[in-house]
């Protein structure tokens, strides 16, 4: 398949990037069932580290095996597969070139009860991503965490290194911590702000959570009311978040969160797609089902995005 | 247009700098409507990061798009355009050479309620500024913050790198934090001290806020009274601040602060210009108006400075 | 002895590693009485540093001498000998090549009563391991320690260096600290999680403690009950921990803990072996007995593993 | 003028230094009215940074201009001119070679009320000193500050770099902080200790404050009494401080402190000179007077030292 | 004098070291009156930094001069001279090659009353030791300090650098801080543990204090009683400490502590020598006496060790 006008247009927004990075962005956009549409569905599997192995893989024990996930991503026609070092390293040589890999560079386990600012450990590096033939690095920031500055600084350095190495930068931007209420973590102003921050930090692809009909910050509330920014429907909110990422000139994708029923998942995806999102990242809802069911669900999701 | 005697004079104050840095300083002084006058009007757009996207761009939604701002700066005849990594990267290739870029190397969002010392995250680097064809780096220090020493040290290192790379160093010197009262942040002694510190740290261009008729520090008060330093009018205070930056041998420009009415803006600029300032940096007052109005306002400002 | 099908299979799981690392993994698997079986018994001697010399060596004073231990490991037919810098350096030249060395890169003494997060000092480096002809580095992490992120980050960097130098990475994964109860340190969910974390961090060989029939974390408990994960016998628990390390595609070995009677030791090893463990690491139970007895015990252990 | 026996003798104490450093030490000792005498009078101007511009320069507004000070130092026949980066950079090219420059590498402003340990910001570097053609670096330590160890470590690194670059190291050793009473900051035992520490840290030239007839530390008091160390006159105390800097084999000079009357200044200098000091460093007492008066005062000071 | 069988034997314990390091160890063992015996007496002079100049040198004012000490060490026939940067640098060129120098890399003054963990400042570096022609570096650790891990890590890095540069590593291992009672700092179990830690960290020569007949740690007490480790006489305790340093295969020397009477000093040395120590390090007891007396005392000490 040769490049489509839409992919050409998207690549044109990243004109300051090197041919190496553009080639990897091309790979992400030209792989799988959504190739050429400008939309992406990515399979991420970092829950073994984040929540522990049994909570992640007991529902579908095939998932204890790192090969299961990369095979699932390939068979389902995903655009990319994202995971921490161990999972990527276990399959990188055997599946080299078959699907773009996103090496998740920081991770957080559930084993500390330490209070204070949310922060993840940096568990790998750009040079490991290069060694393993990855197309992108992934990094999570927690805007609203009191440790956010350290995270922005670490990301800035990794972003510079990644771009110099011709990689794409994917940022998980999850507001969390002392600067925001629990409920406000997915408020629409906060989600839009999270997307803007990731974009200003140089992300090529930004992952946020679907935003709620709620405006968290008092200063922002005045503006949302004065300019009557529509936030009633999920599609409207998604549209505002995408606009907040350089007027839609940065790729913004949405996560699904906790595992839930098929109908709920698809209903949410429809709203997200209608709002102009560039796609979805879907982990537990995919790998915790039996393989055939997962492939069916992912196919339905991709259909919504135009596959 | 060829170099003017005034620009020659200004460049002569930076005799220890490399030809590379002098060439970039020349570009800043020889671009736009004020080219050759020795005055500068700069468009800065870091509010998306600092205050969030809706608060910054909802008043004029064209501003969600990074191209809008660089086009505005060029069309209005500004001397330079300043922004964080994401906004610069989005336009650097397409507008390469058309206007000097200032890469803002540190930024602070409004998402943490953390108390303590004001400090920004370092979100980019000198080598990124070089890669993106920028003429200058920008860096904010908060004198009076308990974290000021870390900031001075970071700036010192970036300044050394920037000069070695032939870039100009622009310092936003904003007193803030535990060493100063809220009211005293723009006291005239504090503003003059802020300008002096930035100059001693090696800044080529210093940005401060317009000073108030107030002397904050007790030790300073004695001196201001004894030597009858005039601080009644804005022009007198600006003159003292400019004097405090190496007797006017460092370029000092002034910001406008919050968006306000056109008459207020122009009245303030007149006072600043009368005091011998080297120009203004104007963000929200420009990009939050419709484009035609913004261009008109900037033209009026430039007229005051002698365009 | 030439390579066996089982060792070939094990090496195939590490396909992303360099020939240098594979060669050292081969050495670990093809040395001693268990050569070729895919099982390992390793002699570790870091107790002099961890507990002090008299507590470690007074029961068998020959152990004050660093040569004693390497000789014991060789004569008993162990797969490898692990120790801190001083002990390895004392014997590395004289016994070069006779047995694979694992340089233990971090260590913790018993001399501080400081509260807070468990953390070890990094006492040596990958380049020292290379200089001393070691086949592997060893590193201890304490998941559930509030300082775990620093440890994961240090390990990530050492792992990258070690792999670039062709070394094997052995991780001691010992949950301990504020995120876990004293009793829960060896709970089966915690041990499985500890193995998963080490695997995701890129460990080639993972060392954990034998797990207890206890599920520590509330979130995990629901899953263990819902999916009826068997944890009654030691063999079942070991099987679950091995599964949690990439479905058995990472080498997981078990420690014995405090010195105890021969029968108890052998009974425990039987359970561990039955659960599919890749072997044992046995320190005090070996070097605190007279040499002949130690060699007999190690021989019995190796027999259980199929020597 | 060719080298004198006294300068030869002084240089012989620095036999482990490189020819580059010896050449710069030679320049310091062979410049100005005191050239060849082995004595030094240095003009330092860091008060703009330390106390603010008006407090420093309003008494003699010519001093706002960086050229004023270097001209004053040259016309008065000083051995060297010391200042922070900005002031040096403003004149380095224009006055290159006309007088040795000492780049003051750390500085502290008066804008923070932060309690705790006194510490300065490192505001420049050895490589900047090299770029600007300086003969020496200057660095302030605060022995008795709880942050003194960080300062000693930073100085140690800068000293090593400076010596490798052929520069001279000048240390301002000012006891201050929680380890000493306000009054004891200039106690004779503390001043002697401060000189010893700077010497042990590798300083070529040590600057301390004139010591008071007071012994601060209880342990020291016993020794001063037992061995009847004379501390009644300023000359005796200065002699003890000079002795404490390697028996007079390191150059020790004294500051004058706050601006005061001419008679007071000269009386103090006489005591200092009588005690065998190597000279004085005189800032505010010089640059806050009209130029002619300053030159007259400096000439009188130099006369006392044998010019 | 050519190498003796005993020195050959000692060197054989360091078989993993480079020829460069072995040559420097040879120099330490083959210099002075004890050359060839395998015993060492070292003169250390860091008290000027640690306690201040008057407390250190007023009893014998010749000691203010750095040349005094190196001459004393040479004339008395010591194996080496140890001091901080300033003292070494003052004599390194003039006395190059005449006696091995040990550059003391960290030091602590008595000027801070800061509570918390004992820690020294790193005041020089391995590259300075190389530049100054030293044979060894010296470094102090405080096991039982809450800051011990930072110290072990700094030492580990310096040790690696020193060995790469062909230098010998001498570690002062002084338990002190929150993990040990004041009385327990020299308990026999603590001293033995301190020797073990230094040995495991890769020290070639270990300096501890003479141990008391006291067992500090409860866990250790059980072992000392059960195995009836003899600790009644100083000789027995020294023997245990030497055994704890790799069964006597690392050089362990003992300090004398505060200045005291000649008889007391010699009595203590006899006990130490009888216990199999490798020698003594003697500072204040030597340099605070008149030179002739000091030489006599050192000669008597050396006689005890077999000179």
Q: Which of C9, C16, C189 to probe the A interface (max A CBs under 10 A)?
A: C16
Nearest CA in chain D to E128: D160
Q: Is E121 on the interface with D (CB under 8 A)?
A: yes
Q: What is the pLDDT of residues E192-221, one digit of tens each?
A: 999 999 999 999 999 999 999 999 999 999
Q: What are phi and psi of C172, to 5 degrees?
A: -85, 115
| Mean pLDDT score, E163-182 | 96
Q: What is the pLDDT of residues A154-198, one digit of tens each?
A: 999 999 999 999 999 999 999 999 899 999 999 999 999 999 999
Please indicate whether, in this complex, the C-beta atoms of A144 and B92 are within 8 angstroms of each other: no
Q: Residue D126 has what pLDDT?
A: 98
Q: Is D210 on the interface with E (CB under 8 A)?
A: no
What is the torsion angle, in degrees rounded to the nearest 10, for the CA atoms of residue E202, residue E204, residue E210 and residue E214? 30
pLDDT band at residue A117, thresholds of 50, 70 and 90?
Answer: confident
- Are C90 and C66 spatial neighbours (Cβ–Cβ below 8 Å)? yes
pLDDT band at residue A112, thresholds of 50, 70 and 90?
Answer: confident
- Picking from C90, C108, C113, the nearest residue to E246 by CB comes out as C90
Q: Residue B259 has what pLDDT?
A: 66
Q: Is C87 on the interface with E (CB under 8 A)?
A: yes
Angle between helices D188-200 and D218-226 (to 10 degrees): 100
pLDDT band at residue C242, thresholds of 50, 70 and 90?
Answer: very high
Beta bridge pairs of residue E175: none
Q: Residue D114: is its pLDDT beyond 90? A: no
Q: Is E125 on the interface with D (CB under 8 A)?
A: yes
Q: Residue C257 has what pLDDT?
A: 65
pLDDT band at residue B256, thresholds of 50, 70 and 90?
Answer: confident
- Is C207 assigned a catalytic role? yes
Percent of chain C with pLDDT over 90: 94
Q: Residue E307 has what pLDDT?
A: 87
Q: What is the pLDDT of residues B192-202, one digit of tens each?
A: 999 999 999 99
**Tokens 């597969």 map to which residue?**
A81
Q: What is the pLDDT of residues E100-142, one digit of tens each?
A: 999 999 999 998 765 668 889 999 999 999 999 999 999 999 9
Contacts of D84 in chain B (CB under 8 A): 200-201
- Picking from A59, A86, A109, the nearest residue to C143 by CB comes out as A109
pLDDT band at residue C166, thresholds of 50, 70 and 90?
Answer: very high
Nearest CA in chain D to E115: D146
Nearest to B65 by CA among D148, D228, A243: A243
Q: Residue D253: is its pLDDT beyond 90? A: yes
| Mean pLDDT score, D221-249 | 97
Q: Within a 10 A sphere around the Cβ of D22, how many other Cβ atoms?
A: 17
Instruction: Please give the distance of CA C220 from its chain centroid, rounded to a whole number.
Output: 25
Angle at Cα C185 formed by Cα C181 and Cα C191, nearest 5°? 135
Nearest CA in chain C to E189: C54
Q: Within a 10 A sphere around the Cβ of D94, how many other Cβ atoms?
A: 14
Question: C touches which chains (3+ CB pairs under 8 A)?
Answer: A, E
- Picking from C61, C90, C109, the nearest residue to E197 by CB comes out as C109
Q: Residue A259 has what pLDDT?
A: 66
How would DSSP label each residue in D27-93?
Answer: HHHTSSTTTTTT-EEEEE--HHHHH-HHHHHTTSGGGGSHHHHHHHHHHHT-SEEEE-HHHHHHHHT
pLDDT band at residue A118, thresholds of 50, 70 and 90?
Answer: confident
Region of poorest pLDDT, from C288-292, D177-181, E276-280: D177-181
Nearest CA in chain A to C245: A64
Please indicate whether, in this complex, the C-beta atoms of D193 and E111 are within 8 angstroms of each other: yes
pLDDT band at residue D257, thresholds of 50, 70 and 90?
Answer: low
Q: Within a 10 A sphere around the Cβ of C1, how many other Cβ atoms?
A: 8
- Evaluate whether chains B and A are touching (3 or more beta carbon pairs less than 8 Å apart): yes
- Are C148 and C198 spatial neighbours (Cβ–Cβ below 8 Å)? no
Q: Which of D54, D134, D145 to probe the B interface (max B CBs under 10 A)?
A: D54
Average pLDDT across chain B, whole number: 96
Q: Is B270 on the interface with A (CB under 8 A)?
A: no
Q: Residue C206: is its pLDDT beyond 80? A: yes
How would DSSP label each residue in C110-143?
Answer: S-----S----EE---HHHHHHTT-SEEEEEE-T
Percent of chain B with pLDDT over 70: 98
**Coil, strand, or helix at residue B26?**
helix
Q: Residue C117 has what pLDDT?
A: 80
Q: Residue B115 has what pLDDT?
A: 65
Please indicate whether, in this complex, the C-beta atoms of C156 and A51 are within 8 angstroms of each other: no
Q: How far apart are CA B86 and CA B68, in angstroms?
A: 14
Q: Residue C299 has what pLDDT?
A: 98
Q: Residue C38: is its pLDDT beyond 70? A: yes
Q: Which residue has the higher pLDDT, D111 or D154?
A: D154
Q: Residue B113 has what pLDDT?
A: 65
Q: What is the pLDDT of residues A25-35, one digit of tens each?
A: 999 999 999 99
Nearest CA in chain E to C50: E197
Q: How many residues does chain B have?
A: 307
Pairing of strands A205-208, A251-255: parallel
| Å between D60 CA and nearest CA of chain E | 39
Q: Which of A200, A202, A221, A228 to probe the B interface (max B CBs under 10 A)?
A: A200
What is the reported pTM? 0.95
pLDDT band at residue D307, thresholds of 50, 70 and 90?
Answer: confident
| Mean pLDDT score, B66-94 | 98
Q: Could you tell me how many CB contacts below 8 A there are between chain A and chain C?
A: 129
Nearest CA in chain A to C10: A90
Of C104, C207, C209, C212, the catalytic one is C207
Burial of C238 (0-12, 13-18, 19+ CB in 10 A): buried
Q: Which of C142, C175, C188, C200 to probe the A interface (max A CBs under 10 A)?
A: C200
- The CA-atom distances, in angstroms, between B91 and each of A26, B85, B86, E238 are 20, 10, 9, 74
Q: Is C52 on the interface with E (CB under 8 A)?
A: yes
Q: Residue C292: is its pLDDT beyond 80? A: yes
- Picking from C13, C189, C200, the nearest residue to A85 by CB comes out as C200
The interface pTM score, or ipTM, of the predicted complex is: 0.94
First to last CA, chain E: 14
Q: Is E152 on the interface with C (CB under 8 A)?
A: yes
**Coil, strand, or helix at residue E67?**
helix
| Å between C288 CA and nearest CA of chain E | 13
DSSP assignment letter at E168: E
Average pLDDT across chain E, whole number: 96
Contacts of A111 in chain C (CB under 8 A): 143-144, 148, 175, 179-180, 190, 193
Region of poorest pLDDT, from A162-166, C115-119, C227-231, E45-49: C115-119
pLDDT band at residue B184, thresholds of 50, 70 and 90?
Answer: very high
Q: Could you tell me how many CB contacts below 8 A there are between chain D and chain E?
A: 130
pLDDT band at residue C113, thresholds of 50, 70 and 90?
Answer: low
| Å between B202 CA and nearest CA of chain A | 24
| Å between D18 CA and nearest CA of chain E | 10
Angle at Cα E144 formed by Cα E141 and Cα E145, nearest 5°? 70
Q: Residue D297: is its pLDDT beyond 70? A: yes
């Amino acid at each position: 398949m040769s490049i489509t006008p839409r992919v050409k247009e998207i690549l044109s927004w990243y004109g300051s990037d090197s041919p190496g990075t553009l080639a990897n962005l091309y790979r992400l956009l030209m792989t799988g069932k959504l190739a050429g549409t400008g939309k992406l569905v990515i399979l991420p599997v970092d829950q073994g580290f984040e929540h522990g192995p049994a909570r992640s893989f007991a529902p579908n024990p095939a998932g204890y095996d790192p090969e299961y996930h990369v095979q699932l991503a390939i068979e389902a026609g995903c655009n990319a597969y994202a995971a921490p070092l161990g999972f990527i390293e276990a399959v990188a040589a055997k599946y080299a070139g078959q699907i773009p890999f996103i090496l998740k560079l920081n991770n957080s386990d559930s084993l500390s009860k330490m209070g204070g600012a949310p922060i993840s450990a940096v568990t790998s590096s750009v040079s490991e991503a290069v060694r393993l033939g990855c197309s992108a690095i992934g990094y999570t920031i927690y805007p609203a965490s009191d440790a956010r500055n350290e995270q922005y600084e670490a990301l800035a350095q990794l972003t510079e290194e990644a771009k110099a190495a011709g990689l794409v930068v994917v940022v998980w931007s999850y507001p969390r911590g002392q600067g925001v209420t629990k409920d406000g973590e997915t408020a629409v102003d906060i989600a839009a702000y999270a997307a803007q921050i990731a974009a200003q930090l140089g992300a090529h692809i930004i992952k946020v959570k679907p935003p709620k009909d709620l405006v968290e910050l008092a200063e922002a509330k005045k503006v949302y009311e004065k300019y009557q920014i529509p936030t009633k429907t999920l599609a409207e909110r998604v549209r505002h978040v995408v606009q907040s990422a350089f007027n839609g000139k940065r790729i913004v994708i949405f996560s699904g969160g906790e595992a839930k029923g098929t109908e709920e998942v698809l209903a949410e995806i429809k709203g997200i797609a209608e709002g102009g999102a560039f796609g979805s990242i879907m982990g537990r809802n995919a790998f915790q089902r039996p393989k055939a069911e997962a492939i069916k669900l992912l196919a339905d999701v991709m259909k919504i995005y135009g596959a």
